[in-house]
Amino acid sequence: MTMAKKRIIIVTKDEEKEAEPLHSKRSMQASIPWSEWNKLYFLRYWYFVVCALIDTFVPLEVYRLIDESYDYVAAFLLLAVLLPVQVFIYLRLWGKNGPWSPVEIEE
C-alpha cells in the first residue's frame, strides 16, 4: 500500500508581493471610526432600502387613489420625478466631493 504524495507549493518572493491580502477591504473598514463607518456604509444601505420602498409603494398608492383614466400616467410621472430626485440626493451625500463620500485610506 502506498500513501498519496503530498503536493508541495513553492511561492517565490515576487508572487508573494503581487498577491493582495484577502481581507484588505474588511481591514480598511475595521480601521475607520464607528461614526465614519456608519455614514459610509450603514446609512447608505438604509438610503437604498428606503428609496426602494418609496419607489414601490408611493406610485402604487397614487395608482390606487386616482381616477382610472389617469392612474397609470400619474404613477409613472411620480416615479419619473422621484428617481432623479433620489439620485441627486445620493450624489450630494455620497458622490464625489460629498460630505459622506468614501475616501481611500492610505497605508
| Average pLDDT along the chain, 107 residues, taken 10 residues at a time | 69 61 57 81 93 95 87 92 96 88 59
State the residue range of the domain holding 78: 44-99
Residue 85, helix vs strand vs coil: helix
**pTM of the shown model:** 0.64
Q: Is residue 17 part of a domain?
A: no
Q: Is residue 27 part of a domain?
A: no
The total number of structural domains that make up the chain:
1
Q: Is residue 67 part of a domain?
A: yes
CA atoms within 13 A on the CB side of 1: 1
Q: Is residue 51 part of a domain?
A: yes
